[in-house]
């Protein structure tokens, strides 16, 4: 059964509360697939693994649950019907793979909970059963992600692309992700206002009955990748009651503090951040390289500042790993996952 508008708006603030004041997203999904040996030099990028190595997708989700994440982002970032059809798959097969992305994350969550129940020393508290709240966020990469030319970092789609073009790409895909049992839609790495506008319209037009978040890729402390203002983009998200959180992902850590401060000025929704490592992506070679002349401070050392600026949901994007997530949790809680005292943060809320 779906949520009503009011519940959708408060869905993530309720979840953050349930988690103990802040929630932790996973880290780079594609990055962890590559660490397990996947070759993602393909127009489908990480979505290739839904087709050729679904066991690895489940494995990566489990890696992030073991690291302590409260939110798993599915492997559907670049999984589109059109993208799979271009590979020669039938429409039905494409739709099955898109649904499968959510099912694999749900399976990982079930395996994780099952394992926790069996190894219950971390699971029983004051004689009662508790389990860490875990959400499945269905990734919807932007139109630029589908193009597979790195334009999620420029926001430049050319004049021929309209809001209708973007909605047509995403419409069926979003419904499949919802029907497969996602808890929330993660519209992510959004580089411009056009994409944001399309998502907000789509949520209303299609009567999507689960909440969504909108997360932008940004070029500096004040602008999304297209050069448009983060304030204007965040305001589009703020205007939609189905949007339960707004924030920034796949952006260099050094810009996040300023971006969170700006976003916090125009929204009462929870602000989420899951930056990348600060490296630069080459869409031709599909490889990352260190940005010349820039030295990133340790990602984790920024986390406290992001929290002070108003963020309450934290994770990592490209080139971050389960270790990054463990570091984030340590920075926020002062303890590593697995420490018993950490139950306040890690194991709150859900009572069987």
Please indicate if the annotation marks 225 as binding a ligand. Answer: no
> Can you say whether residue 103 is alpha, beta or left, with left for phi > 0 and alpha for psi between -120 and 50 degrees?
alpha
By CB under 6 A, is residue 73 in contact with ligand HCS?
Answer: yes
| Closer residue to Zn ion, CB minimum distance, 28 or 327 | 28
Binds ligand HCS (CB under 6 A): choice among 11, 15, 22, 29: 29
| Closer residue to ligand A1LUD, CB minimum distance, 324 or 346 | 324
By CB under 6 A, is residue 198 in contact with ligand HCS?
Answer: no
Q: Which does 54 bind (CB under 5 to 8 A by kind): Zn ion, ligand A1LUD, ligand HCS, none?
A: none
Q: Which does 345 bind (CB under 5 to 8 A by kind): Zn ion, ligand A1LUD, ligand HCS, none?
A: none
Q: Are 288 and 319 in contact (CB under 8 A)?
A: yes
Spatial neighbors of 223 by CB under 8 A, at least 6 apart, are: 229, 230
Shortest spacing between CB 34 and ligand HCS, in angstroms = 10
By CB under 6 A, is residue 283 in contact with ligand A1LUD?
Answer: yes
By CB under 6 A, is residue 262 in contact with ligand HCS?
Answer: no
By CB under 6 A, is residue 67 in contact with ligand HCS?
Answer: no
Q: Are 70 and 63 in contact (CB under 8 A)?
A: no
Please indicate if the annotation marks 250 as binding a ligand. Answer: yes
- Give CA–CA dist 307/302, Å, rounded: 9
Q: Which does 148 bind (CB under 5 to 8 A by kind): ligand A1LUD, Zn ion, ligand HCS, none?
A: ligand A1LUD
Exposure on the CB side of residue 185, measured as CA atoms within 13 A: 28
DSSP string for residues in 7-65: HHHHHHHHHHHHHTS-EEB---HHHHHHHTT----STTGGGHHHHH-HHHHHHHHHHHH
The label of the residue with tokens 């059809």 reads: 85
| Closer residue to ligand A1LUD, CB minimum distance, 192 or 346 | 192
Q: Are 51 and 31 in contact (CB under 8 A)?
A: no
By CB under 6 A, is residue 189 in contact with ligand HCS?
Answer: yes
- Give CA–CA dist 36/59, Å, rounded: 9
Q: Counting every residue, how long is the chain? A: 352
| Residues near ligand A1LUD (CB under 6 A), total | 12
CA 18 to chain centre: 19
| Closer residue to Zn ion, CB minimum distance, 276 or 348 | 276
By CB under 6 A, is residue 245 in contact with ligand A1LUD?
Answer: no
| Closer residue to ligand HCS, CB minimum distance, 3 or 51 | 51
Structure tokens at 245: 């959180």
Binds ligand A1LUD (CB under 6 A): choice among 50, 69, 105, 145: 145
By CB under 6 A, is residue 317 in contact with ligand HCS?
Answer: yes
Binds ligand HCS (CB under 6 A): choice among 22, 64, 77, 84: 77
294-299, Cβ contacts within 8 angstroms, sequence gap of 24 or more: 294/252, 294/254, 296/252, 296/253, 296/254, 297/253, 297/254, 299/253, 299/275, 299/324, 299/327
| Closer residue to Zn ion, CB minimum distance, 112 or 153 | 153
Please indicate if the annotation marks 49 as binding a ligand. Answer: no
* Inter-helix orientation angle 163-179/193-205, to 10°: 50
Exposure on the CB side of residue 259, measured as CA atoms within 13 A: 31
> Considering only 12-20, 91-99, 147-155, 289-297, which stretch makes contact with ligand A1LUD by CB under 6 A?
147-155
- Pairing mode of beta strands 212-216, 184-190: parallel
Note the residues at the interface with Zn ion (CB under 5 A): 250, 317-318
> Considering only 12-20, 23-31, 169-177, 328-336, which stretch makes contact with ligand HCS by CB under 6 A?
23-31
Q: Of 164, 10, 136, 149, which Cα lies nearest the Cα of 64?
A: 136
Exposure on the CB side of residue 226, measured as CA atoms within 13 A: 20
**Which residues are near ligand HCS by CB under 6 A?**
28-30, 46, 73, 77, 139, 188-189, 250, 317-318
> Residues forming the annotated binding site?
250, 317-318
**Which residues are near ligand A1LUD by CB under 6 A?**
45, 78, 145, 148, 150, 152, 189, 250, 281, 283, 286, 318
């Amino acid at each position: 059964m779906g949520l009503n508008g009011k519940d959708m708006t408060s869905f993530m603030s309720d979840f953050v509360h349930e988690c103990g004041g802040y929630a932790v997203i996973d880290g780079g999904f594609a990055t962890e697939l590559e660490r397990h040996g996947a070759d993602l030099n393909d127009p489908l990028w990480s979505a290739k693994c839904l087709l050729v190595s679904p066991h690895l997708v489940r494995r990566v989700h489990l890696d992030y649950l073991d690291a302590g994440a409260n939110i798993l982002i599915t492997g559907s970032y670049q999984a589109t019907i059109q993208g799979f059809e271009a590979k020669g798959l039938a429409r039905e097969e494409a739709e099955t793979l898109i649904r499968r992305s959510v099912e694999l994350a749900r399976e990982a969550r079930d395996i994780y909970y099952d394992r926790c129940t069996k190894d219950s020393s971390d699971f029983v508290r004051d004689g009662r059963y508790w389990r860490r709240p875990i959400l499945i966020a269905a990734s919807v990469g932007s139109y630029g992600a589908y193009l597979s030319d790195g334009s999620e970092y420029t926001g430049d789609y050319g004049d021929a692309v309209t809001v209708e073009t973007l909605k047509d790409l995403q419409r069926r895909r979003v419904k499949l992700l919802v029907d497969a049992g996602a808890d929330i839609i993660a519209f992510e790495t959004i580089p411009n206002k056009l994409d944001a506008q399309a998502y907000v319209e789509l949520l209303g037009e299609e009567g999507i009955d689960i909440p969504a978040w909108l997360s932008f890729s940004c070029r500096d402390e004040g602008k999304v990748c297209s050069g448009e203002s983060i304030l204007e983009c965040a305001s589009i998200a703020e205007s939609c009651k189905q949007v339960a959180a707004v924030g920034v992902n796949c952006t260099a850590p050094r810009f996040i503090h300023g971006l969170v401060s700006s976003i916090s000025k125009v929204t009462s929704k929870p602000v989420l951040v899951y930056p990348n490592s600060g490296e630069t992506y080459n869409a031709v070679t599909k490889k990352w390289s260190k940005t010349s002349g820039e030295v990133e401070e340790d990602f984790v050392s920024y986390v406290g500042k992001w929290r002070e600026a108003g963020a309450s949901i934290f994770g990592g994007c490209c080139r971050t790993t389960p270790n990054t997530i463990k570091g984030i949790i340590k920075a926020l809680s002062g303890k590593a996952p697995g420490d018993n005292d950490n139950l306040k943060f890690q194991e709150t809320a859900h009572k069987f």
